Structure 1
Amino acid sequence: MKKKLLTVMMAVMMTFSLSGCGNDVIVDVVTNDVENGSNQADTSNSGTAQGEQTASAEVAETNPAGLKTIPLEDVKIGVLYIGSASDTSGYTYAHELGIQGMVSNLGLKEDQVVRKESIDDGDDVAIKKALDECMDEGCNIVFATSWGYMEETAAYAEKYPDVYFAHGTGYMSNGSNFTNYFGRIYQARYLSGLVAGMKTKSNLIGYVSAMGSDNSECTGGIDAFAMGVEEVNPDAKVLVAVTNSWFSPDDEQAASDALIGKDCDVLAQHVDTTAPQIASEENGTWAIGYNSDMSKETPDATLTSVIWNWSAYYTSYVNSIVNATYDGSNYYGGMDESLVGLTGLSSLCEDGTQEKVNEMQQKILSGEFGVFDGEILTNDGTVIGEEGKTLDDATITGKINWYYHNVEVVDWK
């Protein structure tokens, strides 16, 4: 069912001042996940001093967006998860780490966070029920973390103009109480392509994707990964298996097995579970994890993981509401903001991989290389982009509906 569309704004960079401390590969912060002992990027101290300052400083009653400021002690946050907050890997796990980091950074109490778990993002009734419960429980800030929550969240932002709503992934926003947040995950995807391209022996690399070319989030990541593969291995191909679901453990497992059956000896993924990692370990091949550090589940297969450090965003967003600097802008961070990165490379990686990753990482950080640079040849012979230019954020987030020339979508069922 189509909802009344709010003003659509493609993700625009919101400038935040985020800090971090030291890292293996990309982001400037690495902490240990206490429960699992994993090497997971996070800004557990980022924003703490800022949060303490906010709590004691005089702030304006309204912010640049014209919304009321919320004192720290009155903040009540609702979070919609497609999985369980108790997950130990994958998409929801990465967001939960971010929420936990934000709570710690700002000194919030646990009862200031309401979690709505296992909300199917294709079920409008379930989404509305979760949002209604957040409103009934007094939430004044809501994070909707999955793509399919977008239109319902947009409608609730219109219905509750005094509540702050932020939607992860997607593209809708209204410039006021409904914003969009995502990031330059393609930067880390490109670097992980270097890792995969140097490791493969068969020159066939599999990629399990939740959605097809109609979804720019998935497709842009695949293309960036494929570009990284080609940088170090022009002979390699990337075979993509699409599950058509953001969360489908059985299909993710079947697609992974099918790709390995087609002689792919490295698997990458844009799906929520560890299925590609497990399939790789069971078959004696290798994999690139996503969302969080997946090496703790599959140490004999995972080469590295492309990760999100969501606490960098969550901390800054809530703090902007508390200190009256919130302006209704969308957020689109990257490696510079410590939002995305890679975990440390495992000993399974080929010699020289770290050096190549470091080289290209530095080029991205310096602005010398933007990944989607110049003329780009697609797999149908079309040329995208222009010499001497790089694709802008709006194009990368919403208009990449093509595959790079070394990518092939395969029938896996």
Structure 2
Amino acid sequence: MRKLMIMVIVAAMSVMMATVAFADAKKKVKVGFVYISPVADAGYSYAQDQGRLAIDKLPYVETSFVESVPEGTDSERVVLNFARKGYDVIFGTSFGYMDPMVKVSKKFPKVAFMHCSGFKTTPNMSNYFGRMYQARYLTGIVAAMMTKSNIIGYVAAFPIPEVIRGINAFTLGARSVNPEATVRVVWTKTWYDPALEKDAAISLLDMGADIITQHQDSPGPQEAAQERGKYSIGYNSDMSKLAPKSHLTAAIWNWTPLFTQVVEQVRDGKWKGGESMWWGMDKGVVDIAPFSSLVPKNVQDKVNAVKAEIVADKLIVFAGPIKDQSGKVVVPAGQTIDDSKLLGMTWFVEGVVGNTE
């Protein structure tokens, strides 16, 4: 009888604890964001911050951010500071924040940590990203249907899987409509350096590229294309106002749906660590910016038709046959590349001119 009573008491205490946790979750959720570049960069951090501003309007959310935080020790300090101040959720928005966030998450088990674009997790740290390669595929179609030189320049940040995957998807989209198109890659080894990114674009224009695209946070490459009278395709956000005479479209982020779900789950006590969120066009996290008047109707119609197929899961970007740079078939017809291999992609597809170093 005594044993039964103890079990009843323990069960009652558990219910009380769950109720308290649920009640606490109903209070205002404090959310911190750590950015790699300035929020005014018109690029990656800007796009993340647009999502922050959206959830900041929710009555149960309070947000704060720190911008231009270098990867490494500095990011660990900033994340640690958010945790010590009692923030409920911390979003680390750059790949290089991964290990510092893992370290801090182990010291604060009651805080929800969300890391962008990485692969490591802990019991209270998940990662999130979007299938930007779907939007890249579409912008590749735009570029390949509008190039006259068949040379498309790609200003790229670092040779990590995220960037390589985007270059490959862009190239697959391009060559799906124009097999003669090639994509020349120049690495800057920086996420945000407007002058360097612009110089990289100029070097590609000097090689004969008549369209410039990018995996960079600044509009530098867009500006270079406009100054040379060539076309450009942006990234992260709609950069049309920054290069109106050259901008065709852009592969863009919309983090609002994902951020909203995370804070709702934390508020309701339903958030779980150790998970990976990799959302695509069907959930609105990635898309392309509105076409400019420079894009002919037949190009717009083609891209919109392919976009509908991607959203409906009728077209898989990385479906075989796919060849690598040497011409070797690496994905046979009828097969696809699974997510684990996409997340670790370190090789280029046929049509890319450049190396992965």
Tell me, yes or no, whether TM beats 0.5.
yes
1:349 aligns with 2:295: yes
**Are 1:113 and 2:63 counterparts?**
yes
Q: Which has the higher helix share?
A: 2
Equivalenced residues, count: 340
1:142–1:62 Cα change, 3 Å = farther
Shift of 1:72: 4.2
Matches within 5 A, 1:303-382: 303-328=248-273, 329-382=275-328
Deviations 1:335-355 (A, max 9, x none): 111110001111111341111
Q: Return closer, same or farther for 1:382/1:60 CA change in 2, 3 Å cut-off.
A: farther
Aligned counterpart, 2:181 = 236
Question: Which secondary structure does the structure 2 equivalent of 1:205 belong to?
Answer: strand
Moved more, 384-393 or 400-409: 384-393
- The alpha carbon displacement at 1:380 in A equals 2.1
**TM-score normalized by structure 2?**
0.90
Alpha-carbon offset, residue 153 of structure 1 = 0.4
Aligned to 2:49: 96
Residues 9-43 of structure 1 show CA distances to partners (whole Å, capped at 9, x for unaligned) of: xxxxxxxxxxxxxxxxxxxxxxxxxxxxxxxxxxx
Cα distance in 2 between the residues matched to 1:334 and 1:390: 17
- Superposed, 1:22-61 pairs within 5 Å as none
Say whether residues 1:408 and 2:353 are aligned partners: yes
Distance 2:251 2:175 in 1: 18
- Report the residue type matching 2:35 in the other structure: Y
Q: Which runs of 5+ in 2 are unaligned?
A: 1-14
Contact 1:198-1:350 at 8 Å conserved across structures = no
Q: Does residue 188 of the first structure (1) align with residue 188 of the second (2)? A: no
Q: Which residue of 2 aligns with 1:142?
A: 90
Whether 1:250 aligns to 2:195 is yes
Give SS of 2:283's match: coil
Secondary structure, in 3 states, of the residue corresponding to 1:73? coil
Q: Is the alpha carbon distance of 1:198 and 1:127 closer, same or farther for their aligned partners in structure 2, counting shifts above 3 Å? A: same
Deviation >6 Å, runs of 4+: none
TM-score (ref. length: structure 1): 0.78
CA distance in 2, matches of 1:312, 1:188: 17
Q: 1:234 & 1:270 partners in 2: Cα distance? A: 23
Q: Name the larger-Rg structure.
A: 2
Secondary structure class of the residue paired with 1:352: helix
1:137 shift after superposition: 2.3
- Counterpart CA distance in 2 for 1:381 and 1:309 is 36
Q: 16, 29, 33: which is aligned to 1:79?
A: 33
3-state SS of 2:265 partner: helix
Residue 62 of structure 1 deviates from its aligned partner by 5.2
Q: Within 1, Cα distance between the matches of 2:249 and 2:60?
A: 32
2:310 partner letter: I
Which position in structure 2 is the counterpart of 1:155?
A: 103
Separation of aligned partners in 2, 1:94 and 1:108: 22
1:268 and 2:218 correspond? no
Once the two structures are TM-superposed, the CA of residue 189 in structure 1 deviates from its matched residue by 0.4
SS for the counterpart of 2:180 is coil
Cα distance 1:69–1:244, how it changes in 2: closer, same or farther (>3 A)? farther
Corresponding residue SS for 1:128: helix
Question: Aligned equivalents of 2:195 and 2:240: distance in 1?
Answer: 21
Whether the aligned pair in 1 keeps the contact of 2:155 and 2:214 (CA below 8 Å) is yes
Specify the code of the residue in structure 2 equivalent to 1:101.
Answer: A
| Range with greater deviation from structure 2 (339-348 or 70-79) | 70-79
* 8 Å Cα contact 1:204-1:264 kept in structure 2: yes
- 1:383 and 1:211 map into 2 onto residues whose CA distance is 26
Deviation at 1:301, TM superposition (A): 1.0
With 139-148 and 72-81 compared, the bigger mean Cα shift is at 72-81
Q: Secondary structure at the match of 1:267?
A: strand
Secondary structure of 2:314 counterpart: coil
Unaligned runs of 5+ in 1: 1-58
Select 1:203's aligned residue among 145, 150, 165: 150
The higher relative CO (CA closer than 8 Å, separation ≥ 6) is in: 1
Whole-Å Cα distance in 2 between the matches of residues 342 and 355 of structure 1?
14
Separation in structure 1 between the aligned mates of residue 248 and residue 181 of structure 2, nearest angstrom: 17
Q: 1:410 and 1:202, CA in 2 relative to 1: closer, same or farther beyond 3 A?
A: farther
Q: RMSD value over aligned CA atoms?
A: 2.0
